[in-house]
Amino acid sequence: MSNELSGIDLWENKNILKVRGDRVPKIIEECNPDKLRTEIEPWLTALFQSEHLSLLLGAGISSATHLLSTGNIGAGMSIIDFSVFKEQIEKNSKESAKLTGRVTANIEDQIRVTNELIKGIEILTSIEDENFKIIKENINVLEKELRIGINTFANQILECERNIITSRNFEASEYLMNFLMSFASRTATRERLNIFTINYDRIIEFGAELAGIRLIDRFVGSISPIFRSSRLEVDMHYNPPGIRGEPRYLEGVVFYTKLHGSLDWIYENGYVRRISLPYGANDVKPYLGDSRVMMIYPNASKDRETSEYPYVELFRDFAAAVCYPNSTMVLYGYSFGDEHINRIIEDMLTIPSTHLVIISFDDASGRVKEFYEKLKRPAQITLLIGNHFGDLKILVDNYLPKPAIDKATFRMIELLKARGWDTVSKENKNISETGENGL
């Protein structure tokens, strides 16, 4: 049972669905997976075989995995308790949050404002003046507290990683693996899947390793991989037996980009490197030392380039991958709290052949609804909002294309049809009609 939504309805605590030819989003009162699957799964199967496919993952994927493992959603975006310039940082952090549509500030807002404050006061006190002595002392305290705060935040994320791998509940890892495989299992004739994330943890890397997915990013090297701006279209191919000069794509390869950096990215001696930080380590400090700066957005060292580098290159990759004809982008667990990302999504949808799929556990902030109504492009947007559709377990079990849906499956259905068998289910018929041949 469903009802169409009016313009004034809120999406909070509701299950919202909009697929294919739906004119407007509708409220699903009775979430029956068996009935909804025939409407949702074939449509997603068709979209996932688009010429270009991208997946943007927010904090929701980490929360969902941690919830399956431990029963709670894990660490959030906590704030740092400063002892100096506290009121100024708090006031400007709130203003920074409001610009992105968030009610409260988080640690990213604090880091951004604190770095700007430190740079501004360093300019102000660059001349010798006795009146600046106390201010300089306060800046030293502020820099120390910022480092401690970032390390504490990093340790909270590491604790969540550790909870997942030490949990006796292996169900979470299996669902994470199957979730990623649903997107990565693309036919070799399609372009590679692009995975983008704004998370600092290594949940995706963990799931990809379990699934046997090879991640290609901008880091080059084995001992201490270094971030390279001159990214070449490096890929993995193989030569089928008996065929010369016709290499094929190796399956299970994905282009991977962490838009906001990572716990194991550091800036040292003019280079961004990825260090060997164990997954779920007890403490990040022994791996940082005194000269290394953890590259989590928008954290930057005093070197002039790191305020934009390497984030400029990462967002350029994001825009180039999604702003492309015949492109589909799927969002999972992203709350539309980053204007620099929202702007690129808006630009993507100005191309008529692109499509956006939004999957979210809830819309408590109202930003998903606000973004949808702002775009005025309902034909290009699919919505699966609510605690039913956003539940990782329900989503994987019922609505995401199964990794086994490949050429062999389609050929089997065609063979059964040719033999006149009537035992093929309605669901399989829908899949065959919206599969490769229907694109």
Helices 133-166 and 59-70: angle between axes, nearest 10 degrees: 50
Residues in contact with 217: Cβ distance below 8 Å, sequence separation at least 6, in sequence order = 255, 256, 257, 258
- Give the pLDDT of residue 422: 54
The torsion defined by the Cα of 154, 155, 158 and 162, in degrees rounded to 10, comes to: -170
Q: Does 360 have pLDDT greater than 90?
A: yes
Tokens of 74: 């894990």
- Give the pLDDT of residue 410: 63
Q: How wide is the angle at C-alpha 380 spanned by C-alphas 379 and 385, nearest 5°?
A: 95
| pLDDT > 70 fraction of the chain, expressed in percent and rounded | 88
d(CA 231, CA 317) in angstroms, rounded, equals: 10
**Residue ranges of E strands in 167-299:** 193-197, 214-216, 219-220, 226-227, 237-238, 248-249, 253-258, 261-268, 271-274, 293-296
For residue 436, name the pLDDT band (cuts at 50, 70, 90).
very low
Q: How wide is the angle at C-alpha 193 spanned by C-alphas 192 and 196, nearest 5°?
A: 135
State the amino acid at position 273 in one-letter form: R
DSSP-derived pairing of the beta strands 253-258 and 193-197:
parallel
- Give the pLDDT of residue 169: 83
The string of pLDDT tens digits covering residues 235-264 is 888 877 876 777 778 888 999 999 999 999
Q: Does 142 have pLDDT greater than 90?
A: yes
- What is the rounded average pLDDT of the residues 92-105? 83
d(CA 297, CA 111) in angstroms, rounded, equals: 8
- Give the pLDDT of residue 373: 93
Cα 395 to Cα 52, 302, 311, 384, 392: the distances in Å are: 22, 44, 32, 10, 5
Q: Are 323 and 54 in contact (CB under 8 A)?
A: no
- What is the rounded average pLDDT of the residues 347-352? 97
Q: Which of 120-134, 176-190, 277-291, 403-417 has the lowest mean pLDDT?
A: 403-417
What's the predicted TM-score (pTM) here? 0.88
Residue of 51, 136, 33, 14 lying closest to 329 (CA atoms): 51
d(CA 234, CA 342) in angstroms, rounded, equals: 28
Q: Point out which residues pair with 332 in neighbouring strands.
A: 57, 359
The string of pLDDT tens digits covering residues 29-76 is 999 999 999 999 999 999 998 999 999 999 999 999 999 999 998 877
- Give the pLDDT of residue 287: 92
CA distance from start to end of the chain: 30
Q: Are 176 and 203 in contact (CB under 8 A)?
A: yes
